[in-house]
Amino acid sequence: MNNDYIVSLIQQNRRIDERKLDEHREIKIEYNISKNAEGSARCKIGETEVLVGVKMDIGEPYPDNPDQGTIIVTAELSPIASPLFELGPPGTQATELARIVDRGIRESKAIDFKKLFIKEDKVWIIFIDIYPVNDDGNLIDASVLAALAALKIAKFPKIKDDKVVYGEFSNEKLKLTKLPINFTFGKIANKIILDPNSKEEDALDARLSISVNEGNIYAMQKGGDTGLILEEIEKMIDIAIKKEKEIRGLLK
C-alpha cells in the first residue's frame, strides 16, 4: 500500500475502508478482562485492540500535595502488536501515549485525587497500565477508552495494617467524576479525518488529539510533521464536541 493511493482517495473525500472523513470505526468495549487487576478493560476500534489494567497500591504523597493520591500511567508498545515495535524500555511513542492518557484524566479531574487520601503519609497510587495487542492505528483513542472503562469498574483492594491485601477487593469503587473522551484526527491532503487507521497514519501530515467533556477541552496533543491552521483545529473541536456523547454512551 503506498501513501499516494491513500492521499488520492482522501482528495476525493474517500477512505481506504470506505468510511466518511469524520466517521470512526466500530468501537467495542469489554470489561473485566483480567481478574487479578482492580479494574481492566479491552477496547477495540476496528482492528486496533488495547488492554488496560488498573492496579492500586499504598504510597506516600508528593510533599507539595500531602493530602492527595496520584495516578501513574504506563504504556508498553510490545512487539506483539506491530512489526514496527521493538523490545526494550519505553521509547518516545510509548511515553507520548502514556502522557496523553495521563493528561486527559488528570487535567479533567476525572479522578478526585483528594479522595485517594488514606491518612497522614498514606495515599492511594493508581497505576494505569496500557498494553496494545494489535496496532491498526489510533492507539491513543483506544487507550483512553480502555483506561476509562477499566477505571470505571475499578474496586479498591482490601487493606490490612496499612498494606494492601493483594487478590482481595473491597466493595468500594473508584469514582470517576467525568468521562473525558479523546478524539484523534489526522490531516491528509489538507483534509481532516477522524480516527486514522494504520495505513492512514503512515500518510499523515499532521495529527491532533483533543480530550473533551461536555463541551470543554481538557487536553490536546499535536503530532505529525506539518502545521495546522486555526480553521482546521476549529473543525476538529466541533466534530469532537458533536460526537463526545455518542462515544461516552459506549461506556456503560
Interacting residues toward another protein by CB under 8 A:
33-38, 40, 47, 49, 51, 53-55, 57, 74, 76, 78-83, 87, 89, 127, 129, 131, 133-136, 164, 166-167, 198
* Distance (Å) of CA 110 to CA 113, 152, 237: 9, 10, 20
* Distance of alpha carbon 113 from alpha carbon 240, whole angstroms: 26
Q: Coil, helix or strand for 129? A: strand
- The phi and psi torsions of 247 (rounded to 5 degrees) equal -70, -40
CA distance 115 to 111: 8
Q: What single DSSP character describes residue 114?
A: G
Please report how close the Cβ of residue 207 comes to another protein at its closest, in angstroms.
Answer: 20
CB of 211 to another protein, least distance (A): 23
- Provide the grid cell at 36: 487479578
Measured from the CB atom, the residue of 16 and 233 that comes closer to another protein is: 16
| C-beta of residue 179 within 8 angstroms of C-beta of residue 189 | no
CB of residue 238 to another protein, shortest distance in Å: 32
Q: How far is the CB of 99 from another protein (least distance, A)?
A: 15
Using the structure block, give the residue that is written with the C-alpha cell 511513542. 93
Contact 104, 218 (CB under 8 A): yes
Nearest distance from residue 34's CB to another protein, in Å? 4
Nearer to another protein, 39 or 239 (CB): 39
Q: Tell me the closest approach of the beta carbon of residue 62 to another protein, in angstroms.
A: 20
Residue 88 or 215: which CB sits closer to another protein?
88
82/93 with CB nearer another protein: 82
User: Considering beta carbons, is residue 55 or 187 the nearer one to another protein?
Assistant: 55
Cβ proximity to another protein: between 197 and 213 the closer is 197
Instruction: Provide the 8-state DSSP code for 141.
Output: H
3-state secondary structure of 116: helix
User: What is the closest distance, in whole angstroms, from the C-beta atom of residue 74 to another protein in the complex?
Assistant: 6
**Following DSSP, what letter does each residue of 152-204 receive, concatenated?**
HH-EEEEEETTEEEEEEEEEEEPPBS--PEEEEEEEETTEEEES--HHHHHH-
Nearer to another protein, 83 or 249 (CB): 83
